Structure formats: structure tokens, C-alpha cells
Chain A
Amino acid sequence: MTVLLRTEGVRKAYGGVHALDTCTVEVDEGSVAGLIGPNGSGKTTLFNVITGYAKADAGHVYLADRNITNVSPDKVFALGIGRTFQLTRIFASLTVLENMLVASRHGGATARKRAMEQLEFVGIAGHHAELAGTLSYGQRKLLELAYVLVADPAVVLLDEPAGGVNLSLVNHIADRIRELNAAGKTFLIVEHNMEFVMGLCDQVTVLDSGTVVASGPPGIIRTDRRVLNAYLGEDLDPAEDE
């Protein structure tokens, strides 16, 4: 399989705190990759570095073979990487449809049609004329997903798509991701909901203190001792491990 998105030895420090330390992650084209780790492990920082919101101190980010290290967010988006945020960031004073058109690469009737199709797809087309600020939290999550998709990015980075939404909506979001993935879209997902990640991802990478501690299929990651250590914060008894 071709690697579509790759970070290579990325380092990022905030003052004396190393948020990322020689972090290398690969995402295969057409896959759904998961990025997990305890709070403060550097997942969102890695998203910020990939999408140009934060500058890497060292290392590189590649989209296919193109070096996109420290490229500005607007250019990263134009090159084909869309992302959502942990806490939804929508344009509250614009209507839902206008939110979609901000992300659209072109204006006019075609852009509106495509925007409405994406809203239909996520299930909030009925709200297109309402101010985005009046939407519920779950609906905002769907809107954010929809407007990232409207420009048809090659890779979609989702930061906690299932965070803070009800179970029915979690299923709804998971189904949308599956459908898009079946159509060839590549995803990298940060999520704390393990069932969501394990049920959805082909490959899972585990970060701890800004470093990759494990990477592999969900079945293996689920039982990996280093992953359990990272989450539980202590070494397991080797005898118990056997």
C-alpha cells in the first residue's frame, strides 16, 4: 500500500516541554488510521504540525512525496489535508450553508450543490439556512466534518470526532467515516473512545510523551504491553504478562 501521509522524526517543544519527540507516523492511502495515547501525549500537537498550525522544530511532514513541513494552514488545506478540531470550530455567525461555502474551493451554483450534498450526507441539510451558532454540539461536529469534506481533501484528520456526543451520533459518525473510506478517502483519527477506534481503524499508532510507542493493527495494539503501560502509567509484572 502507498503511504499518503508521513511524519518523519518530528520534534516540537513548548518552552522546556517536549510535546513531540522524533515522532514518525505513516498513514496508508485509503486507510483509516488511529492515533491514540494518554492526555498530553502529543496527538493534537502532531495534528497541528501536520496542518501548519504549529511549526515543527525538527523533522519533516510529507503528503505523498511532497514535503509540506511548516507550510501555512491555507496551503496545507489546498494541498489536500482537511482537519476537524477537538472542540468544534465553526463560524457561529454564518449560516450552516455559508460555513460550507467558506471551505469550498469555488463559488457559484456548483459549490452550493456540492455543499448541500455533503450536508445531506452527514444528515443536517435541514438546518442549512440556520445560523451555525444555534446548532447543538453534535450537529456542530457533523457540520465540521461536512465542511472539511466539501473541498474533497485527500486526507481527513479528525480530532476526537466521537468526543462529547451521544451514542446514536457516535454510530452515525462512524458510519459516515466507513462510507467515505469505502469510496477511497483516507483518515487519521485521534480519539479516546477505544471501541470507536478499534472498531473503525485499520492501523493504530500509540503516542506517549510525544514518542510513538507502538503501531499496528487494532487486535495487536489492544494487547500490547507498552500501550497498557502508557495508559496505566506503570510497568506491568512480566510474569502477569505471560
Chain B
Amino acid sequence: MTGTVSRRRAAAGLALVLLAVVAIVFPVVFSSPVVTNYAVYALIFVAVVTAWNMFSGFSGYISLGQAVFFGSGAYAVGIAAKAWHINGVGVFALLPLAAAVGAVIAVPFGLIALRVRRHTFIVVTIAVFFIFQLMAFNLNSFTGGTIGMSAPFLPWTPTAFNDRFYYITLACAVVAVVIAVLVRRSRAGLQLRAIRDDEDRARGLGVRTMRVKLAVFVLSATITGLVGGVWFLYLTQVLPQSGFDPLFDLSLVLMAFLGGLGTISGPIIGALIIEPGQLYLTIRYTNGYVSEILLGALFLLIVLFVPRGIVPTAGEWLRRVRTRGRPAVPPVPTAPDPDPARSGLSGGTR
């Protein structure tokens, strides 16, 4: 048993090392800016979907308002760079501000939205999302209105630009995944998963549900705000409809559901499949709606055929193969009571 666990750990460690090597040499092997562009977007979504899953996947509170933090992070960097006349690589110093803005917005957002559950929570997150999108459209002097904001110029060649953003987004993705793993293994992560199963029961066992939910919601928003800032610098522009894009949230949900909601690796797999696919379809078919129609069709297929996602379904299949032939539920070892008078069925008083 211990040997099997050690072998599994060794295999997992080896796989991680291989994955790290592949991730590091990727832009060296595939140096085309077209390919690295795909990779940068995929990594941005790996980071954001991991942050989203850290709260929504673990707790079962499906948020459709993650773009609030993403767009706000992007705008925060743009507004601050413009206001403080920051140019060149110095603009990266504003990324902590993007993270902080995400966190600050998440506190009142969470305090309101996390009081309700299920579909009501989803509706509240959508409402907050539209409030932010409308603010971006209408606060012209602040956000640039429909014209949006441009990022400061980065003095890098096109190849160096993509390569450097590849490593920056890779670092963001790694940090997001490490934080997600730590959260999952923590007491708060366990309590969030208990909340997903039965929130009222968790409260009855001493879990301070609001505090736990809010803490992880803010953490998730912090990471998303930071990545929003990186995305803005990569794209060099943010518009209200791109920073606060309703399809962004639907894509996150789709990625998590495809890979496996609430797992660590599932949403990563989902992001690595969906984001490059979506980009390819958008570039291949100039009519952008084709990719959206296919996205909708894919969502239907997932719900119908792998409702729990790739990772949990594959895990279940492997478990079934391993435990074939064993009883589903072994009986509880309860020895028959030799003295019926002692038992609760004796009818006598103690």
C-alpha cells in the first residue's frame, strides 16, 4: 500500500518536472508569434479559471461576475499609468495595484452576493457585472468611455514581446495553481467543500461560512485582478466590452465544467482545450459568431455526456476498473451483542 503511494507520488513528481520543462522550452521550440500568442491567451485563462475555480468550484457558488475583477484590474493599470505618466517596463510595477483593486472590489461585492445562494447568487453576480460594464461605458473622464484605454508602449520586438509575456503569464498561472492547491489543502478549502455539499450542516458544525466564503472570494478576485492587468498590457488596449465581456465568464464556466469543476487539474485542462480552440475558430472564421455557436454546442455536449467533467469522469472510470469485483459498500463490523439485556432493545431501564 505504502509502496503504491510512493510509486504514485514519484510518477506525479516526474510528470510535474516534465510539464515544467515543456512549459519552459515551449517558446524556444515554437518561436512563431502566432503560436506564442495562442499560448499566452491559454495561460491567461489557466490563471483566471484556476482563480475562479478556487472559489466557485470549491464552494459551489457559480459566479458569473469574475470579469468584474478582470476588467477592473485592466482599467486600474490603464488609469494609473495615464494619471502617473508611467511608461515602458515600469508599468509592470502597477500590477500589484491591479490585484489590490480586485480585492477591494470583492469585499463589498462578496458581502452582498454571498448572503444568497444558488441561482440568486448567479443573478446577483450578473447584475454586479453589468453595473461595472455600464460604469466603464459611461464614466468617460475616468475610463475613456467607448474608446477605452491604451496601455503604455513597451519597447520590445514582436518576438521578444510574445516570449516575455509567455513567461509572465506562465508565472501567473503557476502562482494561481500553487495558491489553489494550498487553499484546497487548507482548513478553509475543506470548509468550502463542505459548504458546497451542505452549507447549513457546515454551520451546525461550527464553520463560519460567511467568513470562509468571503476570504476565498477575495483571494480569487485578487489573482483575477492581477491577471487582468497583465492581459491589458499584452493586448495594449481595454474597451468596456472586452474588459467586461459576458462571454469571458461563460468561457470560465465552460472550461471548469469541461475539465471538472472543483478539481485542480480539470479547469487547467479545460482552459488549454477551449481557449486555443476559440482563438483558432475566431481567426479561421472571420465571423466571430461561429466560435460562440460552437462554444454553446460544446457546453450542451458536456452537460449531456460528461456532466462531471473530464477529470472526475476519468478518475471514476479508473476507480471502477481497479475495484472491479469488490463489494460496493463493505458492512460495518458490529459484533452481535451476547447480552440482550444490555442492548437498547431490552426494554428495561438502566
Instruction: Give A178 to B332 CA distance when docked, in angstroms.
Output: 19
Q: Fill in one digit per residue for B243-277: 1 if any A CB lies within 8 Å of its CB, else 0.
A: 00000000000000000001000000000000000
Instruction: Give A170 to B289 CA distance when docked, in angstroms.
Output: 62
Within 8 A of A (CB), among B156-213: 187, 190-191, 193-194, 196-198, 200-209
Q: Closest chain A residue to B191 by CB distance? A: A102
Partner of B334, one of A172, A177, A198, A199: A172
Segment with Cβ contacts to B, from A16-24, A133-141, A227-235: A133-141
Partner of B345, one of A98, A139, A195: A195
Residues in A with CB closer than 8 Å to B117 are none
Could you count the A-B residue pairs with CB atoms below 8 Å apart for me: how many are there?
131
A91 touches B198 (CB 8 A): yes
B200 touches A199 (CB 8 A): no
B349 touches A73 (CB 8 A): no
Partner of A196, one of B197, B202, B207, B344: B344
Partner of A74, one of B187, B207, B333, B336: B207
**Max chain B CB contacts within 10 Å: which of A91, A105, A136?**
A91
A73 touches B345 (CB 8 A): no
Residues in B with CB closer than 8 Å to A85 are 201
A171 at the interface (CB under 8 A from B): yes
Instruction: Give A134 to B205 CA distance when docked, in angstroms.
Output: 21
Residues in B with CB closer than 8 Å to A107 are 187
A83 at the interface (CB under 8 A from B): yes
A135 touches B206 (CB 8 A): no
Residues in A with CB closer than 8 Å to B118 are none
Question: Given A91-B194, A91-B198, A175-B342, are A72 and B203 neighbors across the interface (CB < 8 Å)?
Answer: yes
How far is the CB of A80 from the nearest CB of chain B, in Å? Answer: 10
How far is the CB of A232 from the nearest CB of chain B, in Å? Answer: 19
A217 at the interface (CB under 8 A from B): yes
Residues in B with CB closer than 8 Å to A52 are 204
Residues in A with CB closer than 8 Å to B191 are 102
A134 touches B202 (CB 8 A): no
Instruction: Give A89 to B195 CA distance when docked, in angstroms.
Output: 12
How many chain B residues touch A (CB < 8 A): the figure is 37
Residues in B with CB closer than 8 Å to A124 are 332
Partner of B343, one of A136, A138, A151, A199: A199
A10 at the interface (CB under 8 A from B): no
Q: Closest chain B residue to A72 by CB distance? A: B203
A36 at the interface (CB under 8 A from B): no
A168 at the interface (CB under 8 A from B): yes
Within 8 A of B (CB), among A92-137: 92-94, 98-99, 101-103, 105, 107, 123-124, 126-127, 134-136
Question: Given A53-B204, A73-B200, A73-B203, are A135 and B329 neighbors across the interface (CB < 8 Å)?
Answer: yes
B348 at the interface (CB under 8 A from A): yes
Residues in B with CB closer than 8 Å to A73 are 200, 203-204
**Max chain A CB contacts within 10 Å: which of B194, B196, B204?**
B204
A154 at the interface (CB under 8 A from B): no
Instruction: Give A8 to B337 CA distance when docked, in angstroms.
Output: 40
B349 touches A91 (CB 8 A): no
B204 touches A74 (CB 8 A): yes
Residues in B with CB closer than 8 Å to A168 are 334, 336
A93 touches B196 (CB 8 A): yes
Question: Given A102-B207, A171-B334, A171-B337, are A136 and B329 neighbors across the interface (CB < 8 Å)?
Answer: yes
Residues in B with CB closer than 8 Å to A83 are 204
Q: Closest chain B residue to A107 by CB distance? A: B187
A29 at the interface (CB under 8 A from B): no
Within 8 A of B (CB), among A177-196: 177-178, 193, 195-196
Q: Closest chain A residue to B211 by CB distance? A: A74
B350 at the interface (CB under 8 A from A): yes
**Max chain B CB contacts within 10 Å: which of A89, A94, A178, A199?**
A199
Q: Closest chain A residue to B262 by CB distance? A: A93
Instruction: Give A210 to B347 CA distance when docked, in angstroms.
Output: 26
Residues in B with CB closer than 8 Å to A135 are 329
Q: Fill in one digit per residue for A200-220: 1 if any B CB lies within 8 Å of its CB, else 0.
A: 101000000000000001110
A169 at the interface (CB under 8 A from B): yes
How far is the CB of A44 from the nearest CB of chain B, in Å? Answer: 13
Residues in B with CB closer than 8 Å to A89 are 198, 200-201
Q: Fill in one digit per residue for B224-254: 1 if any A CB lies within 8 Å of its CB, else 0.
A: 0000000000000000000000000000000
Within 8 A of A (CB), among B10-30: none
Starting from the known contacts A101-B190, A170-B344, A178-B342, 19 additional A-B residue pairs (CB-CB under 8 Å) come to: A74-B203, A82-B205, A89-B200, A93-B196, A101-B187, A102-B190, A103-B205, A127-B330, A151-B205, A167-B345, A175-B337, A175-B342, A178-B350, A195-B345, A195-B346, A199-B348, A200-B344, A202-B350, A219-B349
**Which residues of chain B have a CB within 8 Å of any CB of chain A?**
187, 190-191, 193-194, 196-198, 200-209, 262, 328-334, 336-337, 342-350
Closest 6 CB pairs of A and B: A174-B344, A91-B197, A77-B206, A103-B205, A172-B334, A171-B343
**Which residues of chain A have a CB within 8 Å of any CB of chain B?**
51-53, 72-74, 76-78, 82-83, 85, 89-94, 98-99, 101-103, 105, 107, 123-124, 126-127, 134-136, 138-139, 142, 147-148, 151, 162, 167-175, 177-178, 193, 195-196, 198-200, 202, 217-219
